[in-house]
Amino acid sequence: MRQHTVVDLSHLATFGSGPRSPTWWGTLGFIALEGTGFALAAGAYLYLAYIAPGWPLSAPPPNHWPGTIVTILLLASVVPNHMLNGYAKKYEMLPVRIGLLVMCAFGIAPLVVRWFEFPALNIYWDTNAYGSMLWVLLGLHTTHLLTDVGDTIVLTVLMFTRHGYAGRRFGDVEDNVFYWDFVVLAWLPLYVLIYWMPRF
């Protein structure tokens, strides 16, 4: 007669966070792919700047104030973002809900400013290669802002429903924090390329 070994695994957690979560690895994969996209776009910009005489092709430099305001907002968001991460690790529902609402506001505010940022580039996307690269760089980052803000809003709504009490949702909050850090860090070299390199 064949014997089967049975192990009681009921004591194991049904979800994980950080590297113990498949979602975290998926987020890391997204960051790797999207970071490569940013690097390729920045590389194309630098290549054109290297081969073009008189870069930025006689275009006026962009007004740096909208981009600077976006940068300040993004950097300021890092503090509440990491506070939210700490609350999520402790499974504290009320602070997590408040933190998510704060991060929704910090996500929407840069998008509002960005509405004015595109005209402040002082060049259209179809004017020349310089204008095209500015719009591509700013457009790429705007897409990432939109997707992360959308994800944050959906996660916030879930945390205010019965679905929020599922333990794995706190892991989702941690993944959201992780991705937002990428959105902030990715913007810093783009900010230099868009607003300060044409002034060098």
Residue ranges covered by each domain of the chain:
18-199
User: Do the Cβ atoms of 184 and 75 come closer than 8 Å?
Assistant: yes
How far CA 56 is from CA of 52, 107, 131, in Å, comes to: 8, 31, 9
Percent of the chain with pLDDT over 90: 70
* Tokens, residue 199: 């002034």
Provide the 3-class DSSP secondary structure of residue 200: coil
Ranked by mean pLDDT, the top range of 58-62, 123-127, 141-145, 161-165 is: 141-145
Provide the 3-class DSSP secondary structure of residue 133: helix
Q: What is the b/e burial string over 69-93, where b = at least 16 CB atoms within 10 angstroms of the residue's CB?
A: bbbebbeebeebbebbbebbbeeeb
Q: What is the pLDDT of residues 87-145, one digit of tens each?
A: 999 989 999 999 999 999 999 999 999 999 999 999 999 999 999 999 999 999 999 99
* Tokens, residue 119: 């005209």
User: Do the Cβ atoms of 75 and 160 come closer than 8 Å?
Assistant: no
Q: What are phi and psi of 40, to 5 degrees?
A: -65, -45
C-alpha–C-alpha distance, residues 103 and 190, integer Å: 22
User: Do the Cβ atoms of 56 and 63 come closer than 8 Å?
Assistant: no
pLDDT at residue 24, rounded to an integer? 83
C-alpha–C-alpha distance, residues 22 and 25, integer Å: 5
Q: Nearest Cα to 118, choosing from 95, 93, 90, 140?
A: 140
C-alpha–C-alpha distance, residues 35 and 22, integer Å: 20
Q: What is the pLDDT of residues 22-44, one digit of tens each?
A: 888 888 998 999 999 999 999 99
The DSSP secondary structure of 58-123, one letter per residue, reads TPPPPPHHHHHHHHHHHHHHHHHHHHHHHHHHTT-HHHHHHHHHHHHHHHHHHHHHHHHHTGGGSS
Q: Which CATH class is domain 18-199?
A: mainly alpha
